[in-house]
Structure 1
Amino acid sequence: MSQTELNVLIEQVKQCQLCKPKLAHGVNPVVQLHSSAKILIAGQAPGLAVHQSGVPFDDASGERLRHWLGIDKTVFYDPKQVAILPMGFCYPGKGKSGDLPPLTICAETWRALLLAELKQLKLTVVIGKYAQDYHLGTSKQSLTQTVKNWSEYARSIMPLPHPSPRNNIWLAKNPWFAEQLLPELKQRVSEALKD
């Protein structure tokens, strides 16, 4: 598929209405893709701020994520460098303890088609339990176990917790994350972008 054909597919995604009846805030699919992307950010689903702006990770989570990756907004928002493909493309709404899980219809309908066109990827950053279960098959272990075992996965994959400020307690309880994983993540990001 050419980039022009991929652009048509991306436009179909952005016009998708499959989950409209289930979304109180309406549909607004948020993705960033280009066939030459070197890094894939495989996240959960947009939050309310991102739903409203239409810009992926346009919130405090995005600031922290960019810091973790060691890149600025210019690189992060360059689709030829970084693809952003959450498990759910639209804001799923609020639950009792945070945002609701991503709706599975996005992944079932679009994910394989879109991933197949990202042939230049050097690194996939897998954020959160839903994305880790999909990309790593880790449904039988906790997010903490998956992230703590980061060195056991292929060098082209890095599992992360969600960068949300809601995870400050998790980060405080797991100092190895900042001490061991983040320096390696920054190195892998730098290597992927140089290729």
Structure 2
Amino acid sequence: MKNLLTEIRNCSVCAENLPLGPRPIVSAHPEAKIIIIGQAPGTKVHETGVPWDDPSGRQLRKWLGVSDEVFYDETKIALVPMGFCYPGKARGGDLPPRPECAPLWHQKLWNSMPNLELIIVIGTYAQKYYLKEGMEKNLTETVRAYKNYLPRYFPLPHPSPRNRFWLSKNPWFDDEVVPKLGSSVKEAFSI
């Protein structure tokens, strides 16, 4: 795993497409029980090199019901984005994750983490890649149908502050999904 992480962190496959240059962000360990598959690092995470080191990460840790210490303990939780580097700005947000990363690195990471119990797929890019034709017609319906993907997968919306409107329109998420997410996390750690 150590050699694989070094290889990923030195990757420059799509360097010419990255406005801030390559800085692959990933955290993983063979003992990890949970893997969180996000979209791609933002500018703050690109600067610090720490996954989910931003307001989205704080919200995600609240949803999961875990402390910073647990969240950043790579023997418990692996943090693997669809795109490992900051992809650049688009109108209304960041560009999509680079398409090279997941096919190039994800399976190699999975093969090195035999103890995974729960795969949390955040946002449409991760859900389309992992849930494939099992995904509902859109993110909202996929998250609403979270029970259909358990015990292996748990789909979530992106925890970005930009999603306040989505959260206010979908109160069932906080009422039903977040408590089940917390119990799924505890269950994965206890197995």
TM-score range normalised by the length of the shorter chain: over 0.9
Structure 1 unaligned blocks of 5 or more: 1-5
1:186 to 176, 182, 185: 182
Say whether residues 1:107 and 2:107 are aligned partners: no
Structure 2 unaligned blocks of 5 or more: none
1:160 to 156, 170, 179: 156
Say whether residues 1:131 and 2:129 are aligned partners: no
The secondary structure found in structure 1 opposite 2:13 is: coil
Task: Pick which of 93-102 and 109-118 moved more.
Answer: 109-118
Say whether residues 1:59 and 2:51 are aligned partners: no
The secondary structure found in structure 1 opposite 2:119 is: strand
Letter in 2 for 1:109: L
The residue that corresponds to 1:31 in the other structure is 26
Letter in 2 for 1:20: A
> What is the aligned-residue identity percentage?
47
The secondary structure found in structure 1 opposite 2:31 is: coil
After superposition, what is the alpha-carbon deviation per residue over 1:56-98, rounded to whole angstroms, capped at 9, x for unaligned? 0000000000000000010000000000111000000110010
Partners in 2 of 1:189 and 1:154 — Cα distance? 12
Letter in 1 for 2:175: E
Residues 26 and 51, structure 2, Cα contact 8 Å, conserved in 1: yes
> Number of residue pairs matched?
190
Partners in 1 of 2:48 and 2:176 — Cα distance? 34
2:6 to 7, 11, 24: 11
The residue that corresponds to 2:69 in the other structure is 74
Partners in 2 of 1:14 and 1:166 — Cα distance? 29
Say whether residues 1:98 and 2:67 are aligned partners: no
Residues 63 and 181, structure 2, Cα contact 8 Å, conserved in 1: yes
Partners in 2 of 1:183 and 1:19 — Cα distance? 39
TM-score normalised over the length of structure 1 = 0.95
The secondary structure found in structure 2 opposite 1:104 is: coil
The secondary structure found in structure 2 opposite 1:33 is: coil
Partners in 2 of 1:88 and 1:114 — Cα distance? 14
The residue that corresponds to 2:167 in the other structure is 171
Letter in 1 for 2:29: H
Change (3 A) 1:187 1:140: closer
The structural deviation recorded for 1:153 is: 1.2
TM-score normalised over the length of structure 2 = 0.97
The structural deviation recorded for 1:140 is: 6.6
The structural deviation recorded for 1:128 is: 0.4
The structural deviation recorded for 1:156 is: 2.2
Runs of 4+ in 1 over 6 A off after TM superposition: none
2:145 to 132, 146, 149: 149
Partners in 1 of 2:56 and 2:45 — Cα distance? 10
1:22 to 11, 17, 20: 17
Root-mean-square deviation (CA, aligned residues, Å) is: 1.0
